Amino acid sequence: FLTRVRGPGAQDAPLRVFPRPRGQATRVVVTEYELPQQLLALHDAALDGQGNVWFTSHKTRYVGKMDPRTGIFTEYTLPLTPGAMPGTHHQVVDSHGIVWISENWAHQLNRLDPKTGEVKQVRIASQTPINAPSFGNFTLDAEGNVWDGRAGRIVKMDPNTGEVLKQWPLQANSTYDNTISYDGRYWGGSGPANWGNTVEMLEIETGKILNLNSGAHMMTAKRGGFDPFGNTWWGGADGALIELNAKAGRIEEHWPPIAPHPYTDFYEAMPDKNGEIWAGVLHGRQLLRYTPKTDHWVAYQMPEPYSYDRRTVIDTSTKPATVWYVDYNNDLVRIQPLD
């Protein structure tokens, strides 16, 4: 095999060269921030009320924040759980500035008070063994309740005790991501973590559930959120952005003008308050900006040959919006479009 592919008579495989960025795709400033520690395996980003950017580490007990005004990093250390690997997954900063952080290996919810550094931990009951991923992509509603989709059900939990307050059935065994609509009326869930064809939406007050699937086509909706119009958007492992069009009651896939799957795919697609969708190309080097109203795509090239973006956070207080994500390879990345 080696002599065939690298021997004297071997020929390189054909290469497809894509055009260089032009027009709007060149009007952007991208800034990378190196973290104080290496090998953190960064997972998620979040913004707090002071504009600090928070990060989680998938393989260590450290979480932290960066002040973009000064570039100063502050780290916090979570208590270890006997017998469980360290590592955090998702985080949400509530309206009081408290940071809620999931540990998917230890199946715990952490409550971190940044003012004091105090950490309180709550065990989340699970049938999954410790060190196998379980409690990960939760969300919070306006009252501070925790929402998750697993073990064939949607659950609403008390964050201080882990007690299940209410539950609804799922069509799939689990949802990889969970999100609450802007008006708090709807819960949205993506497909299972590895592969699948489902997306779901729950009207919380009535309990009415919209279950949709893409049939034999495994679109594999991963992570995302609600847009201002009540639709959910998800990054598709098949290379598309996936929309659950709530008004039409159907799944719509939006295919970007980049290299096709399997060379590119998405871990997430995040809508902003203006209705635009942002998504890092998981096995490419672009961050995409999509305007559904006009079907307009912009592909911003990142400085590195990858954009391992698992969670995008968008600051719409700036004009245009400023986008942040933490790259799994240990960078905190800021994208500032100029128009």
Domain that holds residue 121: 36-272
Our measurement of the distance from residue 295's CA atom to the centroid of its chain's CA atoms, rounded to an integer in Å, reads: 23
Q: What pLDDT, on the 0 to 100 scale, is given for residue 3?
A: 84
Q: What pLDDT, on the 0 to 100 scale, is given for residue 62?
A: 97
Q: Is the pLDDT of residue 16 over 80?
A: no
How many residues are listed for the chain in this entry?
339
Identify whether 254 is part of a domain. yes
Band of the pLDDT at 170, cuts 50, 70, 90?
A: very high
Identify whether 163 is part of a domain. yes
Name the domain count of the chain: 1
Instruction: Kindly report, residue by residue over 89-111, the tens digit of the pLDDT.
Output: 999 999 999 999 999 999 999 99
To the nearest whole number, what is the mean pLDDT of the chain? 94
- Are the C-beta atoms of residues 284 and 307 closer than 8 Å to each other? yes
Instruction: Kindly report, residue by residue over 182-204, the tens digit of the pLDDT.
Output: 999 999 999 988 889 999 999 99
Query: For residue 57, what is the domain's CATH number?
Result: 2.130.10.10
Identify whether 306 is part of a domain. no
**pLDDT top residue among 260 and 228:** 228
Identify whether 292 is part of a domain. no
**pLDDT top residue among 150 and 15:** 150
Identify whether 169 is part of a domain. yes
Say whether pTM exceeds 0.85: yes
How far is residue 266's CA from residue 163's CA, in Å, rounded to a whole number? 33
Instruction: Kindly report, residue by residue over 231-280, the tens digit of the pLDDT.
Output: 999 999 999 999 999 999 999 999 999 887 777 899 999 999 999 999 99
Give CA angle at 245 (253, 211), nearest 5°. 95
Identify whether 57 is part of a domain. yes
Beta-bridge partner residues of 168? 154
Instruction: Kindly report, residue by residue over 245-257, the tens digit of the pLDDT.
Output: 999 999 999 999 9
Q: What pLDDT, on the 0 to 100 scale, is given for residue 161?
A: 97
Tell me the C-alpha to C-alpha distance, in Å, between residue 306 and each of 34, 74, 297, 303, 314. Answer: 15, 26, 19, 8, 20
- Are the C-beta atoms of residues 301 and 286 closer than 8 Å to each other? yes
Identify whether 3 is part of a domain. no
Identify whether 322 is part of a domain. no
